[in-house]
Amino acid sequence: MDEFDFIDKLQPKRIFQPNVVVGIGDDAAVYKPSRHKNQVVCVDTMVEGVHFLKHASTPEEIGYKALAVNISDIAAMGAIPRYYLVSIAIPSNWAEQDLLELYHGMYELADEYEMDLIGGDTVSTADKLVVTVTVIGEVEAHVQTLRSKAKEHDVVFVTGSIGDSSAGLAILLSQLAVDNKAHKEYLINRHKRPTPRVRAGQIIATLDRASLNDISDGLASELHEIVEASQLGITFNEADIPISEALSELKKSNDITKWFLYGGEDFELVGTTSAESWDKLKMACDEQSIKITKIGSVTSSHSSVQLVKENLEMIFLEKSGYNHFKG
C-alpha cells in the first residue's frame, strides 16, 4: 500500500466548516476559532485485540465507534464537535480497502454532525491496528459541564438506557445467548454503533449549572468520578435505572446488574443539576423526544455511591467492577 496514494484518497470532497483555513495536504491544519467560544479537545485510541476484534466487527463499524467515543466526550462537555484528526498505525494484514471502509464509518457520523477531517498521521506497525482519533469542538465560553459541578440535593439523571452495550459485547464474545433476534441485533448494535448524545449535551449546556460525564466505563464508575470531583455523595435507585426492553427480557434469567452498573461503553450522559433545572431539562428533552431519566440525588456523604436495590436494601458501590477485555 502506498501511503501518499492512501492519504490522497482521504482528501474530503467537501468541507462543512467555513472556519477551516487549511485542511489535509500541508504540514498542519489551520482553522479559525469562533469568537466568544472555548475550544474543547479530546483524544481516544482504539487498539485491535483490546478495544475491538477484527473478526467481530467490520472496518466500517470500527471507524464509526472510534469517532463516536470521542464525540461522546465532546457532548459531555456540552460542546459541539467541529473537526477531527486520525492517526492510524497499520499492520500488513489490513488492506487499503479495509482502511477506506474504516474511514467511511467515520464519515457517516462526521456528515451527521458536519465535522471536517482536517489531518492525521499514517504509519505502519508490526501486528495490530491502532487508530487514534482527536476531536475538536466548541462550546459557549460560559458553559462548564464539569464533573466537579454537583451540589447537594441535585437531581441525578441519565440519558437513554443503560447496560445494552456490555450485554451486546457478551453476545459477541459468546458469553450470552439471546433467542429473540430483534433483541440480539439491538444489543449488538448498541455495542458497535453507540449514539453520542450531542443534542442532550446541548440542552444540558443551557442550564444554569450541571455536572456531566459520559458513560464509557460503567454507571458506577462515572458516578464515582462525579462524587470524587464534587466531594459529595450520590444515592440512586435500581428501580429507576432506564433499561431497554431487550435487557428487561434478559433480567428473567440473568443477573443484569453487571451490565448496567459496571458494563460501560453505553456512551449515554450521566449528570446532576438542581431540582428546578431538572424540570426544565426534562421538559426540553421530552419536546425533542430525547429519553432522560431521574435516577437519584446528590447527598453530603463524601465520595460514596449508594444504590437502593429493588428490595430496598442499600449497598455501597465500588468504583469498578467488570472491565471487559481491557485486561
Using CB under 6 A, list all residues that contact ligand ADP: 7, 10, 24-27, 86, 88, 117, 119-122
Q: Does 245 bind Mg ion (CB under 5 A)?
A: no
Cβ-based neighbour number of residue 66 at 10 Å: 24
Cβ-based neighbour number of residue 223 at 10 Å: 31
Q: Which is nearer to Mg ion, 121 or 310 (CB)?
A: 121
Closest CA to 232 of 145, 307, 304, 306: 304
- Region 289-318 residues binding Mg ion, contact defined as CB under 5 A: none
- Partner whose footprint covers residue 122, from ligand ADP, Mg ion, none (CB < 5 to 8 Å by kind): ligand ADP
**Cell digits for 85?**
484528526
- Partner whose footprint covers residue 206, from ligand ADP, Mg ion, none (CB < 5 to 8 Å by kind): none
- Partner whose footprint covers residue 26, from ligand ADP, Mg ion, none (CB < 5 to 8 Å by kind): ligand ADP
The DSSP H or E segment spanning 212 is strand 211-214
- Rounded to a whole number of angstroms, the CA Rg of the chain reads 20
- Partner whose footprint covers residue 179, from Mg ion, ligand ADP, none (CB < 5 to 8 Å by kind): none
Closest CA to 171 of 59, 56, 32: 56
- CA 245 remoteness from chain centre: 21
Q: Does 96 bind Mg ion (CB under 5 A)?
A: no
Give the shortest CB-23-to-ligand ADP separation in angstroms. 7
91 contacts: CB under 8 Å, gap ≥ 6: 48, 124, 125, 126, 127, 128, 129
Give the shortest CB-28-to-ligand ADP separation in angstroms. 7
Q: How far is CA 178 from CA 100, 163, 235, 304, in A?
A: 33, 15, 32, 35
Flag whether 322 is marked binding: yes
- Partner whose footprint covers residue 27, from Mg ion, ligand ADP, none (CB < 5 to 8 Å by kind): ligand ADP
Q: Which is nearer to ligand ADP, 47 or 56 (CB)?
A: 47
Q: Which is nearer to ligand ADP, 24 or 129 (CB)?
A: 24
Give the shortest CB-263-to-Mg ion separation in angstroms. 37
- Region 108-137 residues binding Mg ion, contact defined as CB under 5 A: 121
- CA 199 remoteness from chain centre: 13
As annotated, the binding site for ATP includes 103, 120-121, 147, 216
